[in-house]
């Protein structure tokens, strides 16, 4: 499987927030996962 | 005091003060833990005392010596350049001393307690620390095993006066007249070439087809050419059979193309790999799992199969490199402190301080193709870089490997002076998911060696300015 395209800090953030970054849809350039993407993934998990 | 009666309790007990152990200890202390480190030898571990640092110090001295003798191209000649090897050794030792002293102060400054002695597990929550026959007990909530590795000793070549490991090779009192090196990995090549530059007659015996087998042939060729100039004889596909040592030298019997040969030298340096220090820790006693090579099995958080026991660095699988050990040390400390950290890197750079130097990160062209990428590559030669020429350093190249469709950078290989520092940019690029364009559009200062990285990416995009592509 291809690994999500995200910077080290975003990967860490996702882990800390309990999000599997592989399941997050990236909205950044070329499908990059952004901080916003991670945070909204958390929000949708909670609701 | 009755021996063994004294028991101390700590939150985090770290076994070993190498680049894995001391970094783990400091990080855990930063996160508010009460930490104790047990070290049986010197603070700083192999890297600072018997590895990275002393080897690089000797290599720079050898380089300096070579440049003093061979700068006539630039109009500089020197007569009667002398080496005082005992002073070289003394200087190297002050470098080591400064750094190990620094680690000692960092541990202290972070409130980490250092205990001298050899640790042995007795229960999953307790170790004994021996100083000679005496021991004390230490109970812990969490333990990080960071006991590192040692040179492999081959049965046919037992270490002794004249058959030596990298440790002794770093501390020889004088430059040997001749040396045979078994094993053409990075340690053997670095040390062999260093002594050759100091005038030692060096012969390398390597079993596989190529020295530095982890690097591609197009890179290794440059080093081979240089080794030849330095007077190093390299025998590949050669098998060391037996050796006889006397007080003054050693004779090695080896086989090449089915022929028996023999060579006599002052020293035989055996650098065929390293074994993890996991055999005398009492791991079986407490059921900590190792694989058949003695490496401790860990998960992505550096946890062993035993609750609250972690392992990092050379005692675990993966490249036996200092920066890998330190990275894992931070992860283990953070996990212990309750963070959801994990080993999560895309690449680890590996460098060889040969002449010319080598550095590589991420995927090679072959590996990228094997993983199903359509590959774009770009190369830039030192011979076309202004800074390289002004340094009189025109041997080598930078090569970048990217995924052709997305342009995302997958790897980079560099051979040439400065490669170990140049590779850092591409490590960052890979971690950030940078594309060829991201690097090509980043302004690199002129004239610098770093421009070659930019220009190699431009070449991969087919828009290099300083390379004729037709
Ligand atoms: C010649 C040479 C050159 C090298 N050059 C490089 C280089 O340029 N770059 C690079 O990245 N790597 C290099 N390495 C590899 C690097 O040194 C190791 O990968 C690194 O030191 C591993 O760190 P560590 O913390 O896992 O273990 P170590 O550095 O091995 O430290 C382990 C420590 O644990 C102690 N210990 C062991 N058993 C016990 C016990 N039972 N109780 C208490 N203490 C114990 C040891 O005394 C030691 O101090 C080199 C190695 C060698 C030999």
Shortest distance between the Cα of A6 and any Cα of chain B, in A, equals 6
Q: What string of pLDDT tens digits covers the 470 residues of chain B?
A: 455 566 888 999 999 999 999 999 999 999 999 999 999 999 999 999 999 999 999 999 999 999 999 999 999 999 999 999 999 999 999 999 999 999 999 999 999 999 999 999 999 999 999 999 999 999 999 999 999 999 999 999 999 999 999 999 999 999 999 999 999 999 999 999 999 999 999 999 999 999 999 999 999 999 999 999 999 999 999 999 999 999 999 999 999 999 999 999 999 999 999 999 999 999 999 999 999 999 999 999 999 999 999 999 999 999 999 999 999 999 999 999 999 999 999 999 999 999 999 999 999 999 999 999 999 999 999 999 999 999 999 999 999 999 999 999 999 999 999 999 999 999 999 999 999 999 999 999 999 999 999 999 999 999 988 887 65
Bridge-based pairing of strands B274-276 and B149-151 is antiparallel
Taking the C-alpha atoms of residue B137 and residue B62, their distance in angstroms, rounded to an integer, is: 46
Q: How far apart are the C-alpha atoms of A2 and A32, rounded to whole Å?
A: 13
With a 6 Å cutoff on the Cβ, whether B388 touches ligand 1 is: no
Atom of ligand 1 nearest to the CA of B45: 49
For residue B309 the two structure tokens come to 């026991």
Contact of B357 with B422, CB cutoff 8 Å: no
Q: What is the ipTM of this complex?
A: 0.94
Atom of ligand 1 nearest to the CA of B47: 17
Nearest CA to ligand 1 atom 48: B45
Q: Is B138 annotated as a binding residue?
A: no
* Ligand 1 binding pocket includes B47 (Cβ within 6 Å): yes
For testing contact with chain B, the best of A12, A26, A42 (most B CBs within 10 A): A12
Contact assessment for residue B183 and residue B272, using Cβ atoms and an 8 Å cutoff: yes
Mutate: best of A11, A22, A35, partner B, most B CBs <10 A: A11
Q: Which positions 35-74 of B are in contact with A (Cβ < 8 Å)?
A: none
Compute the distance between CA of residue B145 and CA of residue B117 in angstroms, rounded to an integer.
14
Of B410, B364, B369, B426, the closest CA to residue B220 belongs to B364
Mark B392-408 as b/e (b = at least 16 C-beta within 10 Å). Answer: ebebbbbbbbbbeebbb
CA of B46 to the centre of ligand 1 (A): 3
In our burial notation (b when 16+ CB lie closer than 10 A, e otherwise), range B343-353 reads bbebbebbbbb
Dist CA B454 CA B436 (whole Å): 9
Region for residue B56 given its phi and psi (left: phi exceeds 0; alpha: psi -120 to 50; beta: otherwise): alpha
Q: Which residues of chain A make contact with B346, given a CB cutoff of 8 A?
A: 3
What's the rounded Cα separation, in Å, for the pair B29 and B36? 9
Question: What are the start-end ranges of the H helices in B8-138?
Answer: 19-30, 45-50, 52-69, 85-109
Query: Structural domains in chain B?
Result: 7-151+275-337 (3.50.50.60), 163-272 (3.50.50.60), 349-461 (3.30.390.30)
Q: How many angstroms separate the Cα of B30 from the Cα of each of B34, B35, B110?
A: 10, 10, 7
């Amino acid at each position: 499987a291809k690994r999500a395209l995200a910077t080290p800090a975003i990967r860490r953030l996702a882990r800390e927030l309990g999000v599997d970054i592989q399941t997050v849809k990236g909205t950044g350039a070329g499908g990059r996962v952004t901080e916003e993407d991670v945070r909204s993934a958390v929000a949708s998990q909670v609701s | 005091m009755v021996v063994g009666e004294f028991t101390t309790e700590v939150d985090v007990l770290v076994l070993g003060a190498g680049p894995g152990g001391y970094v783990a200890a400091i990080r855990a202390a930063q996160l508010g833990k009460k930490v104790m480190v047990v070290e049986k030898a010197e603070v700083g571990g192999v890297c600072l005392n018997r590895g990275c640092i002393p080897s690089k110090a000797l290599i720079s001295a050898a380089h300096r010596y070579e440049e003093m003798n061979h700068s006539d191209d630039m109009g500089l000649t020197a007569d009667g350049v002398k080496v005082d090897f005992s002073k070289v050794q003394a200087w190297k030792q002050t470098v080591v001393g400064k750094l190990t002293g620094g680690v000692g102060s960092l541990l202290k400054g972070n409130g980490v307690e250092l205990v001298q002695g050899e640790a042995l597990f007795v229960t999953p929550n307790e170790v004994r620390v021996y100083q000679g026959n005496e021991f004390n007990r230490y109970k812990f909530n969490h333990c990080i095993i960071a006991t590192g590795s040692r040179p492999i000793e081959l049965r046919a070549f037992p270490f002794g006066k004249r058959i030596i490991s990298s440790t002794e090779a770093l501390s020889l009192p004088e430059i040997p007249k001749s040396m045979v090196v078994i094993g053409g990995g990075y340690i053997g090549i670095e040390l062999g070439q260093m002594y050759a530059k100091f005038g030692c007659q060096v012969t390398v015996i390597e079993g596989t087809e190529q020295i530095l087998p982890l690097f591609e042939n197009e890179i290794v060729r440059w080093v081979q050419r240089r080794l030849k100039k330095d007077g190093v004889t390299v025998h590949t596909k050669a098998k060391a059979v037996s050796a006889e040592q006397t007080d003054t030298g050693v004779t090695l019997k080896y086989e090449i193309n089915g022929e028996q040969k023999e060579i006599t030298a002052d020293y035989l340096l055996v650098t065929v790999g390293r074994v993890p220090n996991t055999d005398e820790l009492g791991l079986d006693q407490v059921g900590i799992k190792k694989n058949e090579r003695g490496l401790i099995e860990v998960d992505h958080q550096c946890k062993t199969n035993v609750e609250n026991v972690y392992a990092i660095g050379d005692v675990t699988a993966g490249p036996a490199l200092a920066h890998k050990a330190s990275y894992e040390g931070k992860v283990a400390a953070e996990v212990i402190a309750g963070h959801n950290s994990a080993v999560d890197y895309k690449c680890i750079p590996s460098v060889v301080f040969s002449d010319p130097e080598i550095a590589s990160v991420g995927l090679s062209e072959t590996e990228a193709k094997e993983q199903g990428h359509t590959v774009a590559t770009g190369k830039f030669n030192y011979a076309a870089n202004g800074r390289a020429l002004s340094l009189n350093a025109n041997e080598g190249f930078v090569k970048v490997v990217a995924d052709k469709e997305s342009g995302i950078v997958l790897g980079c290989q560099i051979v040439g002076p400065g490669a170990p520092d140049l590779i850092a940019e591409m490590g960052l690029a890979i971690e950030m998911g940078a594309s060829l364009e991201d690097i090509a559009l980043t302004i690199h200062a002129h004239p610098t060696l770093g421009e070659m990285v930019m220009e190699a990416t431009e070449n991969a995009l087919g828009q290099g300015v300083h390379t004729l592509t037709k």
